Amino acid sequence: MSEAWQELISKAVAESGGEIVFNEPLARHTSFRIGGPADALVIIKNRKGLDRLRKVCLEAGLRIIVLGRGTNVLISDQGIRGVVVKLEGEFSQVEVNGNRIFAGAGVLLDRIAEVAELNGLSGAEFLAGIPGTVGGGLMSNAGAFGQSLADIVQEIEVMAGDGNVRVLKRAELNAGYRQPLIPTGCWALAVVLELSKGAARKGKEIRAERWRKHPTAPSAGSFFKNPALTSAGKLIEQCGLKGLVLGKAAVSDKHANFIINLGDARFVEVYELTQIIKATVEEMTGIELDEEVRVLPDSGSTGDRR
């Protein structure tokens, strides 16, 4: 990124009350603790700021990726050329009206479960303990315990790459398993969730259950999508891969669908380990595993991750 464009982006971000850091290591901003530098890491706090940044980057031919909490990504050690965005400010606001929750894209999914429980609403308990944001969750139809965001989402406000803002109704959404609920090239701005009045299972219990089952070492969460009729973790374990180590990356001996960073793991170690897992599982079972974790950079021009 040239100094001229750095100056223009800095000005656009400052005018909207945002923050910017150049050549920021993304390992500091992902749950995997892996990732090289972004040309620019920007904190955007309102829709006006996001649209202003969009215009400058479009003119400069620079890619924008909305990262969220970085909990479902594996980023190259070479980093990302372009602008990485984190949404805060108005995007972190939550409101409750009756049995509906209105939340910005930067709100933590765990916070949704907490707010629902505090307001006597049920239906969002499965979000307890999920570390990502609403925006990232919408990009993967995040879920657990047989439920997903698609079950409770009523509307999603999105901004397209041309700056057009629209509201997607429930009937327009793609509700596939671990598939984006919003169209490619759009950024989630906010969501409306519809829940039910009534007692819900305590979030404290669900979080404790997650902590018992999941490793505490840095990871990106469940790495592979569950195939039909079985789980990726069971398949990986059945193939004798649980605990497999490659450099500083390993298949967790606590949950086989988690690849963990044992300390200073490199992108290539994790990536090669995933290829070994996929090849072995397919050879032994005939089932081809599909990654749930997104590998960056990819070929897309825009994105939104938790």
Is 178 among the residues known to form the active site?
A: yes
| Class of residue 53 by CB neighbours under 10 A (exposed 0-12, middle 13-18, buried 19+) | buried
Is 222 among the residues known to form the active site?
A: yes
Report the candidate in 121, 107, 90 with the shortest Cα–Cα distance to residue 197.
121
Computed from CA positions of residues 141, 82, 157, 91, in that sequence, does the dihedral angle turn out positive or negative? positive
Residue 211 CB contacts under 8 Å (≥ 6 apart), including other chains: 129
For residue 235, the Cα-to-chain-centroid distance in whole angstroms is 24
Residue 272 CB-half CA count within 13 A: 11
Which of 292, 294, 305, 306 is an active site residue?
A: 292
Is 231 among the residues known to form the active site?
A: no
Which of 148, 222, 305, 306 is an active site residue?
A: 222
SS3 state of residue 21:
strand
Which of 178, 294, 305, 306 is an active site residue?
A: 178
Which residues are the active-site residues? Answer: 178, 222, 292
